[in-house]
Chains A and B, each alone.
Chain A
Amino acid sequence: NAGVTQTPKFRVLKTGQSMTLLCAQDMNHEYMYWYRQDPGMGLRLIHYSVGEGTTAKGEVPDGYNVSRLKKQNFLLGLESAAPSQTSVYFCASSYAGPYYEQYFGPGTRLTVT
């Protein structure tokens, strides 16, 4: 039981490049989330999904897209990376809605130069 895994762990991009971050969970959770963590700002929700095939915008969705084609996977895409997207990205999952705790992955550290 691996919990929540994220790929890759580190990445450096040049401005304008694209990339996809992969999140996978093996707990059969319905809800999945993408957050970014910046110093002094806590975690901010980028996008979330309440089930396979559904996605919704969070607090800071601009510049990101997501897909949830399979229940266990939640992909975060950056189409044209900008230095402002330099951050640590965390994926999380929960059994259902906000009543339940979230389980977090180890994070992806992204630097955009």
Chain B
Amino acid sequence: AQSVTQLDSQVPVFEEAPVELRCNYSSSVSVYLFWYVQYPNQGLQLLLKYLSGSTLVKGINGFEAEFNKSQTSFHLRKPSVHISDTAEYFCAVSNTGGFKTIFGAGTRLFVKA
């Protein structure tokens, strides 16, 4: 069975500082990996995804993530955050042969001025 663990429930950071949101997964088969963002009182929207190929994936709003198969991780990074990045971030994993996507519990990023 698949599972996703987001290692931090909350991450406070100052504006213009770098940030890393950590995600580990477990699966016995090949996976697709996603990061979604949820702004207050909205649905989720896709930030980036890893399907295959290059392990460094770039997404919207300056975010990027690196797929590490040996560590079973897919950490999300941004070199300099803005106040507008304050949101909840969800890591998600799908089996290549399955129908469903499993979401992590979420990490709340709070950017302070």
Name the residue of chain B whose CB is nearest to the CB of A41. Answer: B105
B98 touches A98 (CB 8 A): yes
Decide yes or no whether B51 CB sits under 8 A from chain A: yes
Decide yes or no whether B55 CB sits under 8 A from chain A: no
Decide yes or no whether A79 CB sits under 8 A from chain B: no
Query: How far, in angstroms, from A58 to B105 measured CA to CA in the complex?
Result: 17
Q: Is the interface of A mostly helix, strand, loop or mixed?
A: loop
Chain A residues near B96 (CB-CB < 8 A): 98-99
A90 touches B90 (CB 8 A): no
Q: How large is the interface on B (under 10, 10 to 19, 20 to 34, 35 or more residues)?
A: 20 to 34
Name the residue of chain A whose CB is nearest to the CB of B101. Answer: A98
Query: How far, in angstroms, from A99 to B98 measured CA to CA in the complex?
Result: 9
**Can you spell out 21 A-B residue pairs with CB atoms less than 8 angstroms apart?**
A41-B105, A42-B4, A42-B6, A42-B103, A42-B105, A42-B106, A43-B90, A43-B103, A45-B102, A48-B99, A90-B43, A92-B43, A98-B32, A98-B95, A98-B99, A98-B100, A99-B96, A101-B34, A101-B46, A101-B49, A106-B41
Question: Which A residues lie at the B interface, using CB under 8 A?
Answer: 4, 31, 35, 40-45, 48, 50, 56, 58, 90, 92, 97-99, 101-102, 104-107
Question: Which B residues lie at the A interface, using CB under 8 A?
Answer: 4, 6, 9, 32, 34, 41-46, 49, 51, 90, 94-96, 98-106
